[in-house]
Structures are given as C-alpha cells and as structure tokens.
Amino acid sequence: MKRLKIAFYTAGGCGGCDMSVIDMSESFLNFTEKFEIVFWTPMITDLKYRDIEKIPSDYIDFGFFSGNLNTKEHEKIAKLMRDKCRKLITLGICASEGGIRGLANLHTPEQLIKTAYIETISNDSSDKITPKTGLPSIKKVKTLNQVVNVDYFIGGCPPHHEHMKRVFHLILKDELPPSGSWITDGKSVCELCDKNSMLKGKPREALKEIKRLYEGTPESDRCLLEQGYLCLGPLTLGDCGCRCPSVNIPCAGCGGAVSGVSDFGLRAISMIAGIVEREELIQKIPAPVFLFYRYTLASFLNKLGGRK
C-alpha cells in the first residue's frame, strides 16, 4: 500500500509540538511504516531549504506547520508549504492562534529588542548596538492563516501525544472533519473534569473571590473556578484529557476555543464577568490580558487591527 507523504516545519515555535509527535513513542514507529516523512525541518531531517524548494507542487499529502510567524523567512516557508502540501495543518496553538509568543505583540519589535540586547542587567552594553546585519528583521507575530489558507487546526501547547495519535488515525482512516475545522473530539476541558459540579448534580456557584495560583489550598474534589481560581476549562477544547485541573492547576486555555466561539479571550471575559458575585472582583484580577489571552493574543489583535 502506498504510504501517505507527510512533512513538518517549525517556524517561530519552541519545538514542543514536533516533540509531541516523537513522544507518541512506539506508535510513532508504527506510523513511520504507514507514512513517508518527506522532510522534518529543521528538527529531525537534514533536508535544507534549497532541497525543499525543489519538491513539486502538491507532492506532499499532509503538511504540519508549528510555531507562529514573525519573520519574512517564516512567511516564505509558509507559502512554500502551501504550494507543496495538498493539505496544510497547523500543529499547536502557536500556528493556530499565535500562542504564548503572541504576547510579544503587546510591544513593538524595537522594544523587545532593546530590552533583550541593551537593558538586561548582565548585558555589556557599552556599544549599545542591537543585532541587525544579515538577519531577518523581527515583525509582529502572525498566525498561519493570516499568511496562507489553512485546511485544519490542531490546538494545544503542545497537543498531547495521545491526541496526536488520534489525529494520525483519522488521517489514515480518511475521517478528517470538513476543511477549515479544528481536529478535535469536541469536548471541553470542563466536561472531562472530575471536579465538575454539574456532573455531580450540583448547581454552579457564583465566584465569591478571585485567587492567585498560590493563594489558599483548593479542595481537591471541588471545581477550581468556583473556588476562585481562574480556570478557563468551560471554553477550552479538552483533547488533552483535562490535564491541568487534575493536578489542581486551573486550565489556561491552550487547547483552543470550543466551537461557536469566535474569540477565546472575549468569551473568557464573558464567562468570568458573568459569574462573579460583585463588580469589585473584576478589578482584583491580576494581569487580565495575560490570563485570558495567554495563547490567542495575536489573533485577537489582528481582529482589532483595522480599528487600531
């Protein structure tokens, strides 16, 4: 049986999504019998850009693109991938919505560079120079679908390797959802959480206080959100199997938004503001932009972009 051809590229990402595929461990070896990895750049294979450029159009069946885009080089490779892959899939929340590194868009590239190369305390900044020559200039973070058409989205920071197994199974069985969809089981983190009060037949309570991560000790069988920890489980896709609340840490939303939500942060605002007991708690939330837009700031600012 002819093997399906796949390829991977990491743009402005941390490599975690690529590692998630390797983390499938034995299943990874099983999949290499059914898939032909045309290239995996720059992490695993030795193909260089000049080799990639020679690949014919639509040669690769499924291309996985991880990491956000913040240089012209990233955009160039994104367009190459779009040309050479029949289907292009974002691998992880960075490529899908900008990711944590999208928080850079709260600052200008000049500010980011000045802090790193001149202002840090151990810097020998006697010449006050910043890196420039022969280097691609740093731009605002973009998501993949701001540059090329994307066929499927996979969220997660990184997606759990069990979820990656499901993705590859769906590809092999030709059971992917309609083009433009997120590849997901569709359940929210909240639905899978064993602390969920609704699943225990109890009504949800209003938020009487807002707690920072280290404040107090959560009761281990009670909903974290109700106890005042800002858990975003209700609106986050649970393909991870609800990892974080199961270790008493509130969900931060890395899986992407459940269906029907056009912007993760805005729905998070709606949810939290809709269940607090009194308005003064709203002012008590520390760093709301960071908390609600941890993974999706780039795509939000892009929406606002025309207006700013």
Partner 1 sequence: MRKIEINPLTRIEGHGRISIFLDKEGDVENAFLQTVEFVGYERILRGVPIEEVPRLVSTICGVCRGVHFIASLKASDEVFSVKPSVAVRKIREIFYNAHIVEDHTAVLYAFGFPDFICGLYSSPSERNLIGVFKKIGTEFGREILKKRAGALRIFEILGGRPSHPVTALPGGWSKPVKEEERKEIIKIADELIELGKLTLKIFEDYILKNKEYEEFFRSDVYRVVLNYLGGVDENDKIAFYDGTYKFIDTKGNEIGRFKGREYLEYIAEKTLPWSYTKAPYLKKHGWKGFIDGEATGLYSVGPLARFNVGKGYNTALAQEAYEKMVDFYGGKPVHNILAYHWARAIELVNAAENIKILSSDESITERNLRQEINKVAGEGIGIVEAPRGTLIHHYRTDEKGIIQDANLIVATTQNKGAINIAVKRVAQNFIKKGRVDERILNMIEIAYRAYDLCFACATHEINNKIPFQIDIYSNEGELIKSFENYA
Partner 2 sequence: MKENNPVILVFACQWCAYQGADNAGMQKYSYPSGVYIIRVPCTGRIEPEFIIEALSKGADGVFIGGCYLGECHYKDGNNKAKMRVSLLNRILKEVGFEPERIRIEWISAGEGRKFAQSMKDFAEELKKLKYR
Q: Of 113-132, which residues contact partner 1 (CB under 8 A)?
A: 113, 115-125, 127, 129-132
Question: What secondary structure letter does DSSP report for 293?
Answer: S
Cβ-in-10-Å burial (0-12, 13-18, 19+) of 87 comes to middle
For tokens 């992490």, what's the residue?
43
- The rounded radius of gyration (Å) of the Cα atoms in the chain is 21
Contacting partner 2 within 2-41 (CB under 8 A):
none
Site string for partner 1, 223-242 (x = CB under 8 A): -----------------x--
Q: Binding of partner 2 at residue 261 (CB under 8 A)?
A: yes
Show the tokens assigned to 237: 């896709």
The answer to whether 78 touches 69, Cβ cutoff 8 Å, is: yes
Judged by CB under 8 A, the chain residues 276 through 305 that form the site for partner 2 are 276, 279, 282-283, 285, 288-289, 292-293, 300-301, 303-305
213-252: buried (b, 16+ CB within 10 Å) or exposed (e) per residue?
A: eeeeebeeeebbbbbbbbbbbbbbbbbbebebbeeeebbb
Tokens of 146: 């701001």
Q: Is 43 in the site for partner 1 (CB under 8 A)?
A: yes
H helices of 149-223, in order, are 161-172
176, interface contact from partner 2, partner 1, none, CB < 5-8 Å by kind = none
Among the listed ranges 99-107, 145-153, 165-173, 189-197, the one in contact with partner 1 (CB under 8 A) is: 99-107
Given partner 2, partner 1, none, residue 129, with its beta carbon under 5 to 8 Å by kind, binds partner 1
Would you give the binding string for partner 1 spanning residues 57-96, x where CB under 8 A is met? Answer: -------------xx-x-----------------------
Chosen residue from 53, 58, 110, 194 binding partner 1 by CB under 8 A? 110
Does the footprint of partner 2 cover residue 269 (CB under 8 A)?
Answer: yes
The residue whose two tokens read 């999208």 is 102
Q: How far is the CB of 207 from partner 2 (least distance, A)?
A: 11
191 touching partner 1, by CB under 8 A: no
Q: Bridge-partner residues for 89, per DSSP?
A: 64, 152
From the number of C-beta atoms within 10 Å of its C-beta (0-12, 13-18, 19+), residue 269 rates as middle
Least distance from partner 2 to the Cβ atom of residue 42, Å: 33
Residues in contact with partner 2 by CB under 8 A are 106, 261-263, 265-267, 269-270, 272-274, 276, 279, 282-283, 285, 288-289, 292-293, 300-301, 303-308
